[in-house]
Amino acid sequence: MLNIAVLVSGGGTNLQALIDAQKNGIIKNGSISCVISGRSDAYALERAKQNGITTCVVSRKDFKSAGEFDHALLLALKSANADLVVLAGFLSILGDEVTSAYKNRIINIHPSLIPSFCGAGFYGLRVHEAALSYGVKVTGATVHFVSDVVDGGAIILQKAVEIKDDDTPENLQRRVMEQAEWVILPQAVSFFCEGRLSLENGRVRVLPLNIIIKKEADKDGFQ
């Protein structure tokens, strides 16, 4: 069973989707062992507490430098014995100490179809404002591994969402969450925990379940 640490800064609806997926057995072989918040007033902390999950706050503004913040974050992840780190609306950028300690073990959800409307400055409603102002007809969400390029790591899953003529940034944000984010984030976490994500030449392949069952059987000595 892998220990999952979820990093949040806001309302925590993606965290809720992960908690629900764990309860419903969609996430097998993984358990949310701690929630780390970048803000002490994030409602996500409430959701974690209501579900008996250990919480802590590691806020960038409490540290003199980005390096000290990064170090504190790493300590929190280590003390939670995290095997997988999920960024679910965490607003601070992770530094090198954390990303190299958890190489290929940090995943992020971004509310657009990367490579559109992503990178520095594209967060929250800004992403949806940009999509509407460009006039794209389809947007969506992306789950990807975190690398040292903001929103630039290998893509794990994407799901498209249609844009309507009368969309506002607010209702588009909500629809992208409902139709895409809350679906693909738990799915990606589940694939990771089952060992089904294979990273080759910077691309992710989701291995079919029969390959995983065979690998396990081979490991156990069954042929």
Residues that bind ligand GRF (CB under 6 A): 8, 10-15, 44, 88-89, 109-111, 177, 181
Residue with tokens 């780390």: 36
Nearer to ligand GRF, 136 or 221 (CB): 136
Distance of closest approach, residue 8 Cβ to ligand GRF, in angstroms: 6
Nearer to ligand GRF, 41 or 216 (CB): 41
| H helix runs in 80-135, sequence order | 96-101, 125-134
Nearer to ligand GRF, 77 or 114 (CB): 114
Select from 152, 163, 159 the least CA-distant residue to 115.
152
Residue type, 79: S
Distance of closest approach, residue 208 Cβ to ligand GRF, in angstroms: 28
Walk across the sheet containing 106-110 and list its strands. Answer: 54-57, 30-37, 2-8, 84-87, 106-110, 138-145, 155-162
Residue 110 is a catalytic residue: yes
H or E element in which residue 163 lies: none
Distance of closest approach, residue 33 Cβ to ligand GRF, in angstroms: 18
Distance of closest approach, residue 201 Cβ to ligand GRF, in angstroms: 26
Nearer to ligand GRF, 43 or 63 (CB): 43
Distance CA 124, CA 111 (A): 8
Residue with tokens 């800004």: 126
By Cβ distance, which residue is nearest to ligand GRF? 89
Residues with a catalytic annotation lie at 110
